[in-house]
Amino acid sequence: MDNPDKLRRFEQTVLPHLDAAHNLARWLTKSAPDAEDVTQEAMLRAFRFFDGFRGSEARPWLLQIVRNTFYSWREQNHRLEQSFSVEEEAVEIADDRPTPPELHQQDLDARLLRETLATLPDDFREVLTLRELEDCSYKEIAAIMNIPMGTVMSRLARARQQLERLLRQRIAGVQP
Amino acid sequence: MNREELHALLHPWFDGELDAARSLEFEKHLDDCPSCRQQIENQQSLRKALTAPELYYPADNALRRRISRNLKKAVRTESRMVSHWFSWNAAAAVVILAVGIVIGVLLRGVPSSTSSKALVNEAVAANVRSLMANHLTDVLSSDQHTVKPWFDGKLDFSPPVKDLAAQGFPLMGGRLDYLDGRPVAALVYKRRLHTINVFVWPAATPPSLPAGSGSHDGYNVIHWTATGMNFWVVSDLNTEELGEFVRLLQSPG
């Protein structure tokens, strides 16, 4: 392929999803400068691999590259302080506070939500970002995260339950 | 479908992922399951709250521009590669001979004909080429005692190789490159995701260029001459950290 033509096609099909790429990188790295590094590297990788892109859906394709870039970046940087795995997290924390109010009776504060989302295990935060912020289908999430559709479904259910539980605990905690 | 199976449909139903038949079945179940209705109400408010702009991080304009620049550079490099890459190995052998004969004989002691600006261009292009062609290193090692001997027999000089891993600049390896009309040693260091290329080759006496620094095409370049060698450092790393790297490289020992 002729290179200026390749760039033009890349700008038309892939570059429109730069915001999505950066948003995912931001939620994965949980840091603004790291998200920029990962996004830059992912866009260069995407351009390099673009000759091999045959699909029609550029967004999940790009998000998958962002995700892979993030994991190799984390490996390189020996970020082992990453959050606990999903399995460990399944252990319920005893809560002796009074039953927190139902979420739909609450005015959910965006800052509180952002902080709570950031404390979720990586797998949960990632699946929620893709579903709720990027509006990806189960099929797209399965392709991006390289997991079966059934796992997408169960992981999303558990992620939502945990987010809801943490939010309700926080709301109960901050309210007198 | 039993109750448990129906409850498992809550999230896929909420996400519009069920086929029509199962969707109807779940909606029938909803009529007599207050617990599912409650959960769905909670999830609806959660979903609504998750659309707040505070939770979305679009790319800012500076990043957009940087990426656009990187892509244009990648195109230029790939275009050059086509004509450049296949003939490189053969050309290198010829050129190394030519360097020995022509430059060694004709230009000895004459100030380099390559101006500073042209050399900056060349160094940045070599840096970009190394990143785009998956040809960052010929010898892949974080051990200075592996990298240094690798250059023996490939170059007519021995570049100083420093281990700066403890200071946060791990050595990735080295390769041969071509700059200022001659083969040079390229040492590759990393800082997070950033690659730092250090080009080293023997300096003319007196040095043909004063030390300097600047930026070109979004890359920072710092160069100086020490212990009879030219050092050119090129990276997209910020000037502050690159300055720290250069100080470490220059420090004795």
Contact B185, B179 (CB under 8 A): no
Question: Looking at residue B113, what is its pLDDT?
Answer: 41
Q: Could you tell me if A16 and A66 lie in one domain?
A: yes
Same domain, B50 and B67: no
Q: Are residues B45 and B78 in the same domain?
A: no
Q: Say yes or no to pLDDT of A93 above 50.
A: no
Is residue B228 within 8 Å of residue B117, measured between CB atoms?
Answer: no
Q: Which residue of A has its CA nearest to B53?
A: A110
Q: Count H helices and E strands in chain B, helices first.
A: 9, 7
CB atoms within 10 A of CB A65: 23
CA angle B128, B133, B138 (to 5 degrees): 100
- Does residue A88 register a pLDDT over 60? no
Residue-number span of the structural domain to which B208 is assigned? 61-250
Same domain, B50 and B130: no
Domain CATH for A132: 1.10.10.10
Q: Please name the member of B15, B58, B78 whose beta carbon is closest to the beta carbon of A131.
A: B15
Q: Tell me the pLDDT tens digit for each residue of A26-63.
A: 999 999 999 999 999 999 999 988 888 877 789 999 99
- Residues in B closer than 8 angstroms to A36, CB to CB, are 63
- Provide the ipTM: 0.85
Enclosing domain of residue A30? 3-76
Q: Are residues B35 and B72 in the same domain?
A: no
CA angle B107, B110, B114 (to 5 degrees): 85
Instruction: Note down pLDDT in tens along chain B; length 253 residues.
Output: 888 889 999 999 999 999 988 999 999 999 989 999 999 999 999 999 999 999 999 999 999 999 999 998 888 877 665 544 445 555 555 555 555 555 444 444 334 445 677 788 888 888 777 776 556 777 777 778 778 888 877 788 888 888 898 888 988 888 888 888 788 999 999 988 888 999 999 888 777 777 888 888 788 899 988 888 899 999 989 888 999 999 999 887 6
* Same domain (yes/no): B49, B136: no
Whether residue A26 contacts residue B57, with contact meaning beta carbons closer than 8 Å, is answered with yes
Would A89 be classed as within a structural domain? no
Average pLDDT of chain A is 84
Q: Which of A22, A37, A114 minimises the CB distance to B59?
A: A22
Q: Read off the CATH number of the domain in which A35 is found.
A: 1.10.1740.10
Calpha distance B131→B136 (Å, rounded): 6
Nearest chain A CA: its distance from B151 CA (Å): 26
Predicted confidence at residue B109, as pLDDT, reads 39
